Amino acid sequence: MSKKKNQKLVTPEILRQAIIGSFTKLNPRYMMKNPVMFVVEIGFLISLLLSFVPGLFGDTSANARIYNIIVAVILLITVLFANFAESVAEGRGKAQAASLRKTQKDTLAHLLQEDGSTKDVMSSELKKGDVVMVSAGEIIPGDGEVIEGIASVDESAITGESAPVVRESGGDFCSVTGGTTVVSDWLKIRITSEPGNSFLDRMIALVEGASRKKTPNEIALNTLLVSLTIIFLIVIVTLYPIGLYSGVQIQMSTLIALMVCLIPTTIGGLLSAIGIAGMDRVTRFNVIAMSGKAVEACGDVDTMILDKTGTITYGNRLAADFYPVGGAKREELIRCAALTSLHDETPEGKSTLELARRLGDASEETPGSEFLEFTAQTRMSGVNLPDGTKVRKGASDAIEQYIKDLGGKIPSDLHEQVNQISSLGGTPLVVCENDRILGVIYLKDTVKAGMVERFERLRAIGIKTIMCTGDNPLTAATIAKEAGVDGFVAECKPEDKIKLIKKEQSEGKIVAMTGDGTNDAPALAQANVGLAMNSGTTAAKEAANMVDLDSDPTKILEVVEIGKQLLITRGSLTTFSIANDIAKYFAIIPAMFMQAIPQLGVLNIMNLASPYSAILSALIFNAIIIPCLIPLAMKGVKYRPMSSGKLLARNMLIFGVGGIIAPFVGIKIIDILIHPLLTLIGF
């Protein structure tokens, strides 16, 4: 699997662009898209107005102008910090888009004419349906399907993987991506995308944020924040007449400060950045998400449907064990199996030799040996040693006939051993030395390393895994048990996958699946999260809402974790933001009314120096906590597989309790620092 691309959180260029963006985003028409921060900006404008006309709302104290200026500056900084967080997220996306654009070159394409001749045109002039010829060393001019030829293609410009991959006409490996290079041979390609609408174009638009729409979860959270803002606005408005009734003239700037501190400004300033960063993490993982909704849906997945071959298993039958028969010694069987595999380049041969070496065999090639390759006619391979010994391995019936021709005997327990391996879904390879059968090599479709642990991880967070395979029920049950999946469907046809997805969805579950073939397209479209392989067919990629440029079917496991990390980050920072308000409440409310109502002094549990320093300390903390949380919003809260209940309890403990404690400590420290300064200027 390709590794996640590393990228610095903030480069000098991103920092420069983010600082500029912090100021350009002050435009009220833009700020209105973020209601919480728009309220803060309005508070800044009112405080700024009061700085020039301090007596506008009856506030005629000598220090009113200075106090209003300080509040206005802090509010401006708060808005700038929120804009900075969003600009950093956008800057990372634009930096990635710039690197992707480097792969987009307006190259020369050899357009195939109706008379069979070719015409050289620029790749930007190609239309959907055009057919082009691409030879070794040339860049593929656009996304398309191979309709003729077979060639190695270097996709490192897109995927980061250095090893070339084979692309050929027909089947599930006919899709090619514009910007990749043909390494050998030639390909005839039918262009499948219009100019400006290739996978790279869509990827660039998404990471830049130009095509990013708010997801349902983000909209719901935004609605909650707006509701809380309106509630606190009503509360703050009522405080002014209550203060007058109590004999307290509350300054307008103080009310604005209280408003800004109590509304969820922290999450309001980071919400958009979290969403953009979530898309960025998926894209850096070489997955194109067609929308933010697709990424978010990953975090809610309940059921995951995976193909067996190539996803859970390697797809090649590999040696798993050796079973001697007819009284032969296991060491003899292993030695002869290794001798026949010394020059066997098939996956079966290589795995047989590797297993023999692991079991302690040290057989080496004897000079003068004659190696026989496997053929469809003989259905066996082997080696003739210089001393006349003949060693063979192959299909059971082929070896039996070979032994009979030599006048040898068939061991009585051979058929039993062969049938037992076949019943498990394995492939038996029989080994003989001269006219004597030594035993059977057990070949099976091997489960990929680490899959058991991955499925345990998914089970821990409540995701059910179902394996789909065309194998018989016995073979399917064996692989399912070995891999540790929760269920399986044997002898599965394309329509069975759709039926399974609909069944799970009818129970209110969110379903994810992977696929690469045309026959997977209906199921990919039906699933809530469909991850198509970039090496697969165009039909599969068009049906899915995510495309994996690395064509690694197991990546859906990581994509689900990224989706969950996005939701967890959003929820954790929301919890932290709301918990912050408790400390700010204990800082500002006593400061506002303590002089008129001394009994409220018991609420001054932080023992803040003065009403002015208490209010300004809370306001300053409210501003500086936003940039402090930018790294967490960008990288995301570290994801740990566990049940929803444990996850909620853990995040409530860390971000809920932490959100209460941090402001108490921070506000007190700020109060200690600014009180002497306020004393100097007469507060």
Alpha helical stretches, state H, 413-550: 414-423, 451-460, 473-483, 494-506, 521-526, 538-543
Q: Is 344 annotated as a binding residue?
A: yes
d(CA 186, CA 177): 15
Contact 580, 659 (CB under 8 A): yes
Q: Is 499 annotated as a binding residue?
A: no
- Integer angstrom CA distances of residue 273 from 97, 207, 576, 634: 17, 12, 16, 7
Q: What's at 454, amino acid-wise?
A: R
Q: Is 375 annotated as a binding residue?
A: yes
Question: To which residue do tokens 């090893």 refer?
Answer: 163
Q: Is 393 annotated as a binding residue?
A: yes
Contact 630, 88 (CB under 8 A): yes
d(CA 174, CA 538): 9
Q: Which residues contact residue 148 at a Cβ distance below 8 angstroms, ignoring those fewer than 6 apart?
A: 169, 187, 188
Q: In terms of Cα–Cα distance, which of 207, 221, 220 is closest to 268?
A: 221
Q: Is 378 annotated as a binding residue?
A: yes
**Terminal C-alpha separation, the chain:** 62
106 is catalytic: no
Contact 382, 349 (CB under 8 A): no
Contact 674, 613 (CB under 8 A): yes
Question: To which residue do tokens 């400006």 refer?
Answer: 196
- CB environment 163-193: b (16+ within 10 A), e (fewer): ebbebebeebbbbbbbbbbbeebebbbbbbb
Tokens of 364: 């080496």
Q: Is 107 annotated as a binding residue?
A: no
d(CA 72, CA 145): 60
Q: Is 435 annotated as a binding residue?
A: no
Q: Is 377 annotated as a binding residue?
A: yes
Helix (H) or strand (E) holding 118: strand 118-122
Q: What share of the chain is helix, strand, coil (3-state, %, to 5)?
A: 50, 15, 30
d(CA 665, CA 578): 17
Region for residue 439 given its phi and psi (left: phi exceeds 0; alpha: psi -120 to 50; beta: otherwise):
left
Sign of CA dihedral 369, 373, 378, 382: positive
Contact 512, 531 (CB under 8 A): yes
Give Cα 59 distance to the centre of its chain: 54
207 — phi, psi (to 5°)?
-70, -25
Q: In terms of Cα–Cα distance, which of 336, 225, 310, 304 is closest to 270?
A: 225
Contact 188, 133 (CB under 8 A): yes
d(CA 624, CA 629): 9
Sign of CA dihedral 638, 641, 642, 644: positive
Q: Is 516 annotated as a binding residue?
A: yes
Q: Which residues contact residue 678 at a Cβ distance below 8 angstroms, ignoring those fewer than 6 apart?
A: 610, 612, 613, 616
Check 130, 154, 307, 445 and give the catalytic one.
307
Q: Is 606 annotated as a binding residue?
A: no
SS3 for 601-628, per residue? HHHCCCCCCCHHHHHHHHHHHHHHHHHH
Q: Is 381 annotated as a binding residue?
A: yes
d(CA 252, CA 259): 11
- Please give the positions annotated as active site: 307
Binding-site residue numbers are 344, 348, 374-381, 393, 516, 520
Q: Write out the binding residues for Mg(2+).
A: 516, 520
Summarize the annotated binding site for ATP as residue ranges.
344, 348, 374-381, 393
